[in-house]
Amino acid sequence: MRELIRYLKDYKKESIMGPLFKMLEACFELIVPLVMAAIIDTGIRNHDRPYIWRMGLLLVSFGVLGLICSLTAQYFAAKAAMGFGTALRRDLFAHINNMSYTELDILGTPTLVTRMTSDINQAQAGVNLVLRLFLRSPFIVVGAVLMAFTISVKMTVIFLIAVPVISLIIYFIVKSTIPIYKSAQAALDRVSLLTRENHIGARVVRAFSKQQEEISRFEETTGALTRIQLHAGRISALLNPATYVVVNLAIMAILWSGGYVVDSGEITQGELIALINYMSQILLALIALANLIITFTKATASAIRINEVFHTQPSMCGGEKTGSEGDGEVPAVEFRGVSFSYANAKENALEEISFSAAQGETIGIIGGTGSGKSTLVHLIPRLYDTSEGEVLFRGRSIQEYQLEYIRSRIGLVPQKAVLFQGTLRDNMKWGKEDASDSEIREALDIAQARDFVEAKEEGLDLKIQQGGSNLSGGQRQRLTIARALVGKPDILILDDSASALDFATDAALRKAIKEKTRGMTVFIVSQRASSIKYADKILVLDDGRMAGMGTHRELMENCRVYEEICTSQLSGEEVQRG
């Protein structure tokens, strides 16, 4: 939490004024029992009616002042806490945007989403509570003890014993329940997991007729959860009775010893009542503090998770070059002895890869899972940096280019067809911010998406729901291809991006790309031999190494891995026809 405090620096005034006003309010509250004592001792004893009225008025004005202070404090706290949350969110978002793929792999995007949302909300709530209450409760406790001190030094001893005892009770109960609550949370997570699992896997569960087993598994889990909750409940059920007993023991002690000090004339009856009142105030304040500690623990856990993200520093910085130098003579992309390993991985995902792709060529990439196909194409727009060797774009190392420039020249169509909320036009503009409708239509045309888009009434204004759920898988995939084509990139990368298309559409797409995008270098990663067999050059990857390179015909003759793949997928006749 301490590290995040800096986000309050724009709200210094608010962060100081908030607690200050809160303490001021507490002061007014602390005076009340004394005024009451005065009413009893002076007003009643002397039958001074005007005095009682004056004191009553004083109490009301204290109430009004307290209300004003309290409202001011709440306002400052709300302003500071929201400001804190907003600034923190802004910075964390910007920080995440600066990360490279390597860091994203390590942290994982789903957890980044929770940290961006619920963790920051928790931290924000924590700040708000701290500003409002964290100082108030201890202040009331200390204040009440001090007030008791002004009334009677001897009687304060009772306070000095009772306060630590209550604090200890609260401390131990909170401390011993927090870990139990954590394990309850873990059990609850398991309940969610089973629910989710049985919803997604409903077909399989039914196919195997395992409903009864799944139900008993769930019953076991909920049983365990209930046991943990009851265990935590048994401990926290002690909190109220235990503190109640201690406070009342203290009050009994005040009554007993109060008898002696009043008898000897050291304090008055009214002051005795005031002492009892202070005791009750302490109890309330400490209980509020206990709740606060629980909220604060949650906020601290969230703060730790947020800081983890901040501590992950981006490992990549871009170069300065933008323009290209060479012309058609220079290869569009060249790999020179490239090896690459993912963070935390023991083995290289790519080993000594060298090849070059001329402008306008189509390069097919094929190979097994984990053979490094996707990794290879991710290196082209510098989404990762190589461990060894060099990747060149138009004869120059990609590290020398600005990241924005290199990425705007390369259109990537990822494996997963993701679209964003907004209109279809908005989505297309991801590739080129100022793309005109005719540019977009042209891209849709090549991506075989024009027909279905035009069949929709709204056309380019079609609203796309979150995750593109109002489109079929094949439609989404074609739109992601169009999105990459809008900016007319020099290089197009299709990372297994036609898997949801049927054979006919897949073929038409390849044909259109070939005919309508002259000069564009195209990389096609695919599982289907039929998708890449007409490429100018085919790279065959096996376990991160280049197992073969050449045309379909060449590879059929000299690359065993390639031959194996082809014969498994195509009939003999088709293999020959290539």
Partner 1 sequence: MKQKDTLKRVLDFIRPYSGYVAVILVFALISVTFTLYAPILIGEGVDLILGKGQVLFDGVLKIIVKLGFVVAATAVAQWLMNLATNHVTFCVVRDIRRKAFAHLEEVPVKYIDSNQPGEMMSRIVTDVDQFSDGLLMGFTQLFTGVVTIVGTLGFMLSIHVKITLIVVLITPVSLFVASFIAKRTFSMFKLQSETRGDMTSLVEELVGNQKLVQAFCYEKKAEERFQEVNEKLRVCGIRALFFSSITNPATRFVNGLVYTGVGIFGAFTVLNGGITVGQLSCFLNYANQYTKPFNEISGVVTELQNALACARRIFDFMDTPSVDPDPEDAAELKECDGSLELSHVYFSYLPGTSLLENINLNVKPGQRIAIVGPTGCGKTTLINLLMRFYDIDRGNIKVSGYEAGHVKRDSLRQQFGMVLQDTWLRSGTIAENIAYGRPDASREEILEAAKAAHAHSFIKRMKNGYDTVITEDGGNLSQGQKQLLCIARVMLLKPPMLILDEATSSIDTRTEIKIQQAFEKLMEGRTSFIVAHRLSTIKSADVILVMKDGNIIEQGNHKELLKENGFYAKLYESQFAVS
Rounded to an integer, what distance in angstroms lies between the CA atom of residue 269 and that of residue 259? 9
3-state helix, strand, coil in the chain (%, to 5): 65, 10, 20
Structure-derived torsion over alpha carbons of residues 423, 429, 434, 437, reported in degrees to the nearest 10: -60
In three-state secondary structure terms, 383 is coil
Which residues on adjacent β-strands are paired with residue 494? Answer: 413, 524
511 close to 431: Cβ distance less than 8 angstroms: no
**Chosen residue from 4, 7, 11, 85 binding partner 1 by CB under 8 A:** 85
Which of 358, 425, 507, 550: binder of partner 1 (CB under 8 A)?
A: 507
| Nearest distance in Å: CB 442, partner 1 | 18
Using the rule CB under 8 A, which residue among 3, 12, 64, 560 binds partner 1?
Answer: 64
Query: In angstroms, what is the minimal distance from the CB of 219 to partner 1?
Result: 6
Distance between alpha carbon 74 and the CA centroid of its chain, in Å?
28
Q: Is 433 in the site for partner 1 (CB under 8 A)?
A: yes
132 binds partner 1 (CB under 8 A): yes
Give yes or no for residue 223 binding partner 1 (CB under 8 A): yes
Task: Provide the Cα torsion 73, 75, 77, 81; round to 10°.
Answer: 180
Binding to partner 1 (CB under 8 A) within 249-288 occurs at: 249, 251-252, 255-256, 258-260, 262-265, 268-270, 272-273, 276-277, 280
328 makes contact with partner 1 (CB under 8 A): no
Applying CB under 8 A, the span of 2-10, 109-117, 144-152, 447-455 interacting with partner 1 comes to 109-117
Q: Binding to partner 1 by residue 317, rule CB under 8 A?
A: no
Region 511-550 residues binding partner 1, contact defined as CB under 8 A? 511, 514, 527-530, 534, 542
The site map against partner 1 for 152-171 (x = CB under 8 A) is --------------------
Strand order in the sheet with 396-397: 350-357, 333-340, 388-393, 396-397
**DSSP assigned state of 465:** P
Site for partner 1 in 333-392 (CB under 8 A): 366-371, 381, 383
Dihedral, CA of residue 495, residue 500, residue 503 and residue 504, to nearest 10: -100
Q: Which of 20, 75, 330, 459 is in the footprint of partner 1 by CB under 8 A? A: 75
Residue 235: how many CB atoms within 10 A of its CB? 14
Cβ distance to partner 1 smaller for residue 192 or 438:
192
Using CB under 8 A as the binding rule, whether residue 79 contacts partner 1 is answered as yes
Positive or negative, the Cα torsion across 392, 498, 362, 544?
positive
Length of the chain: 578
If one asks whether residue 40 binds partner 1 (CB under 8 A), the answer comes out as: yes
Could you tell me which stretch among 108-116, 138-146, 291-299, 349-357 binds partner 1 (CB under 8 A)? 108-116
Q: Are 496 and 336 in contact (CB under 8 A)?
A: no
Min dist CB 92 to partner 1, Å, is 9
Does 186 bind partner 1 (CB under 8 A)? Our answer is: no
**Among 554, 560, 552, 549, residue whose Cα is nearest residue 577:** 552
Interface with partner 1 (CB under 8 A), residue total 168
Nearer to partner 1 by Cβ, of 198 and 388: the residue is: 198
Q: Is residue 389 helix, strand or coil?
A: strand
Q: Does 563 bind partner 1 (CB under 8 A)?
A: no
Q: Judge contact between 473 and 502, C-beta under 8 A.
A: no
Site for partner 1 in 234-253 (CB under 8 A): 234, 236-238, 240-242, 244-245, 248-249, 251-252
Span 13-32, contacts to partner 1 by CB under 8 A: 25, 32
Q: Does 52 bind partner 1 (CB under 8 A)?
A: yes
Nearer to partner 1, 49 or 456 (CB): 49
In whole angstroms, what is the distance from residue 121 CA to residue 299 CA? 9
Residues 437-466 that bind partner 1 (CB under 8 A): 466
Q: Is residue 47 involved in binding partner 1 (CB under 8 A)?
A: yes
Q: Which residue has the tokens 């209450």?
A: 133
State in angstroms the smallest separation of the CB of 218 from partner 1.
5
Cα–Cα distance between 503 and 403 in angstroms, integer? 36
Provide the Cα torsion 61, 67, 68, 72; round to 10°.
Answer: 160
Among 49, 154, 553, 560, binds partner 1 (CB under 8 A): 49
- Measured from the CB atom, the residue of 192 and 327 that comes closer to partner 1 is 192
Nearest Cα to Cα of residue 298 among 132, 175, 178: 178
Task: State which of residues 412, 453, 479, 485 lies at the interface with partner 1 (CB under 8 A).
Answer: 412
In terms of CB distance, is 313 or 571 closer to partner 1? 571
Tokens of residue 203, six digits: 């077909």
